[in-house]
Structure 1
Amino acid sequence: MNTPLRLEQALIKLYNAYHNNTLDPEDCTACAVGNILDNQDSWKHLSNEHGSLQLNYIGTVHQRLGRKFNGYSPQELLEIEKVFLMACGFETPLCHYNPKPQNPRDKDVLFQGLFAVVSLLCELEGLDNVMNYSKLFEQENNIPKYSLEKILS
């Protein structure tokens, strides 16, 4: 599989954040998009509400100019963040009175968010989800249909 550079870099950053316990859905520098954008918070100025898909004036200008941030458009960044927050159990857009997970930094909660983000990132590239290993368990006449080597290549 020929992995696009932006996907490869995003996956590495998210993987490292997850395993280094620096992935945090409530911190705009440590959430999914914050990590993809090298722990910067400037992306939060693309929308007026955290977790919204609605670009504000600044976000719209950047989108119309075709600006990319580590390879992602402003609209794609908002989509990534919304998917991450919702998969972690937050109601979006974030607000102090909206429901949120009891422990948003729980590894299982973060894994759900990470899984959803990786799925979306692969979808944005038009690729199969790299976290989908269901093919490993497909059988035909009690014989595996695919070898592990074929799936991983």
Structure 2
Amino acid sequence: MKTTPRLESAVRKLYIAFHNNELDPECCQKCAVGNILDNSDSWQHLSDDHGSINLNYIGKVHETLGRKFNGYSPLELLKIESTFLKASGYIVPLNYKNKKPTNPKDKDSLFKALSAVITLLCELDKIPNYMDYTKLFEFEDNTPKYHLTHIF
């Protein structure tokens, strides 16, 4: 399957962070966007609230100027982070009042969150979600409709 360079880079960085136990939803350098942006926390200045998809003045300026950060616009970055946090069990934006998971670094929870992020990244690049394995189970006349070589 053909992907875009930004998608390939983002997935590689998230894969490494996941397997090295370097994903932390509450840390701007180790969350989904922090890892996509090479563990930078400068993206947090695009919005006033962690997990919000509302650009602040700085974010709007960057968006209007067409700036990209590792291939992603400011609004795309906020959508990625919001998706990651919601799928991890947080109520966004993050603050002391909103619900948060009891174990934010639980591998199953992080896997679920990364799956949601990869789905979004594929949508942003207008390509089929390569994490969707449902085609493996489609059948016709009691035989598989697709074979592994035709999906990947």
User: Structure 2-normalised TM-score?
Assistant: 0.99
SS at match of 2:11: helix
State the aligned residue count.
152
SS at match of 1:101: coil
The aligned counterpart of 2:12 is: 12
Q: Classify the secondary structure of the residue corresponding to 1:91.
A: coil
Cα shift readout 1:41-96 (whole Å, capped 9, x = no counterpart): 00000000000011001000000000000000000000000000000000000001
1:77-96 correspondence runs (5 A):
77-96=77-96
Structure 2 counterpart of 1:29: 29
Q: Distance in 2 between matches of 1:10 and 1:149?
A: 24
1:148, distance to aligned residue in structure 2 (A): 0.1
Instruction: Determine the C-alpha separation between the residues in 2 that align with 1:83 and 1:146.
Output: 30
Q: Distance in 2 between matches of 1:145 and 1:16?
A: 33
Corresponding letter in the other structure for 2:59: G
Aligned AA (1:25): P
Distance 1:24 1:111 in 2: 12
Where does residue 119 of structure 2 map in the other structure?
119
Q: Distance in 1 between matches of 2:141 and 2:125?
A: 34
Superposed CA RMSD? 0.5
Gaps of 5+ in 2: none
Residue-by-residue CA offset, 1:106-140 (whole Å, 9 max, x unaligned)? 00110111010000000001111111011011110
Counterpart of 2:106, as a letter, is: D
Seq. identity, %: 63
Q: TM-score, normalised by structure 1?
A: 0.98
Residues of 2 paired with 1:23 and 1:140: CA distance?
41
Which residue of structure 2 lines up, in the alignment, with residue 40 of structure 1? 40
Match of 2:72 in 1: 72
Query: How many Å separate the matches in 1 of 2:102 and 2:70?
Result: 32
Structure 2 CA distance for aligned equivalents of residues 70 and 12 of structure 1: 13
CA drift of 1:2 comes to 1.8
